[in-house]
Chain A
Amino acid sequence: MSTRHRRAELLIYLAPVTIFYIGFLILPYLMVLRLSLFRFSSMRLYVPEFTLANYAAVITDPFYLGLMARTVGLGLIVTLVSLLLGYPLALKIARAGPAMKSALIAITLSPLLINLVVRTYAWLVLLGDTGVVNTWLRGLGLIGAPLPLGGNLFSVVIGLVHICLPLMALSLIGVLERIDNALIDAADSLGASRGRILWRVILPLSLPGIGAGSLLTFSFAISAFVTPALLGGNRVSTIATLIYEKFTFSANWPVGATLVVVLLVINTAVVVLHGRLFKEG
């Protein structure tokens, strides 16, 4: 096949998805970028005058800086908890027999089968002051006042981990499954304890899975809107919830658009960092 022929074929294959992304991703982003460079007007939402004032405000105002730090912090907490819960789970699943493996993977993925809003409300029902957990604990006489389980960072982390754990576990399982059993046998024969096998062989070889799972989890957690909005009870604000607020109640579209760009930059930075760290694949 000639080079020209091959190029033409490539174009035909890639055209639909390219058109889709240009129309529904790139163009909207460009519109948001343009909006972030306009001046805010309380009368007309925005005035089409070019300004960097929104970025200056977002980058220097301690309120926005604190918000960004809290959002990144939330992302890190969710990633860490998902990793700590997901790693042993993935290890067991990766080493299980075929039937057991299918069952465990189905259970692990089950949170993804429930609608996001329904799942979030279910957590509200469970974790609220008059929710299932507090009611039972009080009924059993274990606690006097309800524990602060809902409407705070705790419930947001729980809700996000619930969604992110399958993503993390799947990334880890894929990598752990591919570790040759002979390597573990070899380490065993050379005198390595279980702990040393985990630390010196399995863990280093699963780093790509840890990286991919963490990337997915972190990006998902810092961009999530429904979970922090519903489970945070107005007490947990993230970049995403503030974007919503800027585009609705306070009707400050330029600053809202600026926050969208900031979130995109953070996510892009994480992807680039991941690429650097896991260059070898």
Chain B
Amino acid sequence: MADSTPPPSLAIADVHVSYGAFHALRGIDLAVARGEFVALLGPSGCGKTSLLRTIAGFVQPDRGAVMLNGRDVAGLPPRRRNIGIVFQSYALFPHMSVLDNVLFGLECRKVAKAEAAARAERALGLTGLSHLADRRPRQLSGGQQQRVALARAIVIEPDLLLLDEPLGALDKQLRVQMQTELKSLQRRLGVTAVFVTHDQEEAMSMADRIVVMRDGAIAQLDTPEALFAAPNTAWVCEFIGAGNLLRGPLASEGGLRRLALPPGSDIAVPANDDADATVLQVPFDKLRPRVAGPGEGLEVTGRRFLGATVELQLASEFGTIRAHLPPAEAHGFPFGGRAHVSASPDHCRLLPDR
């Protein structure tokens, strides 16, 4: 058995959870490999928090199995699962110092004093909190509290680290900084982590794989790159902001299906056998606008400066087409001006309208 692959850190099979009549999780299957960082991404009410709480053991599933390192943890309370959790509100013990907060999990495990002190010191060092060990949580800033919560969760050397919207309460700049720190810490410790977020940018920037959830089910499970490049439905594309979705009549034409745009504009997609796939997806940065004469092409109805790029909003009869282009190229398209727009069929895809 020495050469058999180790079981995944976390394996979930056909998990169903309901609260009264509300079906919060409808058959979730998920395997997370050792050391992997997985994001549960979805709008509020999609079941991502229920899934996290089920993994943690706060919620017992109606059906299905949760396995940690190959061990079925059905019926086990959270305290027997050896899972470190970073709560959205941090949930630091307000009556204890930072150090005592970090020591709490070791105290529960009856770790010898000297060893506990050494481990706590290491965890505080890793999170850059050594100088704050004697403070009370309320004397700390939001970012520092977040780090304490992290130190408290990792000091127990958990088999799995769960993070519930861990950065939601921080301001934008700090959030980006903490994303980087969190990711590098997770790498360094090699701890398997699952984190919940509704922020697709956060999920993209941190996760190895993203579980996009919708209505209690997994809509798509992929790496950030694959998800962005190939969302499997119009809904996923829309949710993660992976490009324009154009719903319009498509004319078949020699292996291509072409959108009925005014002359001069051309968006087509390779034909597809899937009868369900009716929505044309084209990434924002794959559209090439050209200046059109008065009364020709599409009207520029909006411009948005995004920093590295400028977004042009073009009114078509299939909805607003958004094109991202370098600021220098965007000069030729003033608000109210006219533009032709085209894209290579290689960059367009057909998605089912669900």
Which A residues contact B (CB, under 8 angstroms)? 180, 182-183, 185-193, 196, 200-201, 204-205
Contacts and interface: CB of A to CB of B under 8 A. Distances in A.
Nearest to A200: B104
B75 interface: no
Contacts of B104: 187, 190, 192, 200
Interface of B: 56, 58, 77-85, 87-89, 91-95, 104-105, 108-109, 152, 156
Contact of B84 (A180, A185, A189): A189
Contacts of A190: 79, 104-105, 108, 152, 156
B95 A204 contact: yes
A189 B108 contact: no
- Top 7 nearest A-B pairs (CB, nearest first) are A191-B108, A190-B105, A182-B91, A186-B91, A189-B85, A189-B78, A188-B78
Given A185-B58, A204-B95, A191 B84 contact: no
A186 B85 contact: yes
Contacts of A189: 56, 78-79, 81, 83-85
A188 B56 CA distance: 10
A113 to B, nearest CB: 35
Which secondary structure dominates chain B's binding surface? loop
Given A200-B104, A205-B94, A182 B87 contact: yes
Contact of B91 (A180, A192, A196): A180
A185 B92 CA distance: 11
B87 A185 contact: yes
Contact of A201 (B83, B88, B93): B93
Contact of A183 (B77, B81, B91, B156): B91
Contacts of B82: 191
Contacts of A188: 58, 77-79
A180 B94 CA distance: 10
Nearest to A182: B91
Nearest to B82: A191
10 contacts: A185-B87, A186-B87, A187-B93, A188-B79, A189-B78, A189-B79, A190-B105, A190-B108, A192-B108, A201-B93
B93 A183 contact: yes
A178 to B, nearest CB: 11
B24 to A, nearest CB: 17
A97 to B, nearest CB: 13
Contacts of B152: 186, 190
Nearest to A197: B79
A246 B91 CA distance: 57
A144 B89 CA distance: 62
A58 B81 CA distance: 64
Nearest to B56: A189
A185 B105 contact: no
Contacts of B88: 182
A204 B56 CA distance: 26
Given A185-B87, A186-B87, A191 B105 contact: yes
A205 B91 CA distance: 13
Contacts of A200: 104
A271 B108 CA distance: 37
